[in-house]
């Protein structure tokens, strides 16, 4: 019984709320930007495969939509 604690388990270490907020905000930002990139990648792939844009055209669609997405998601 080396780790004998007095009191209930729920009163363990105090919560670092500032770190919790930073982690949550980083998760939300990663989810938002990651979703944007995946959706834009799917649109660019559809333009290249089904729209006849080819590799260069789909690459341009990907770059242009990413630039637009950065401005829209700020």
pLDDT, residue 8, reads 59
Task: State the DSSP code for 9.
Answer: G
For residue 60, pLDDT beyond 90: yes
| Mean local confidence (pLDDT), 50-66 | 92
pLDDT, residue 53, reads 83
Q: Quickly tell me which residue has 């006849």 as its tokens.
A: 52
Helices (H), the chain: 17-49, 54-72
Opening angle at CA 49, ends 45 and 51, nearest 5: 100
- 3-54: per-residue pLDDT in tens? 666 655 666 667 788 888 999 999 999 999 999 999 999 999 999 989 888 8
For residue 66, pLDDT beyond 90: yes
């Amino acid at each position: 019984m080396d780790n004998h604690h007095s009191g209930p388990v729920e009163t363990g270490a105090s919560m670092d709320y500032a770190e919790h907020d930073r982690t949550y905000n980083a998760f939300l930002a990663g989810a938002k930007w990651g979703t944007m990139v995946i959706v834009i990648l799917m649109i660019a792939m559809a333009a290249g495969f089904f729209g006849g844009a080819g590799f260069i055209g789909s690459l341009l669609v990907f770059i242009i939509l990413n630039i637009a997405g950065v401005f829209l998601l700020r």
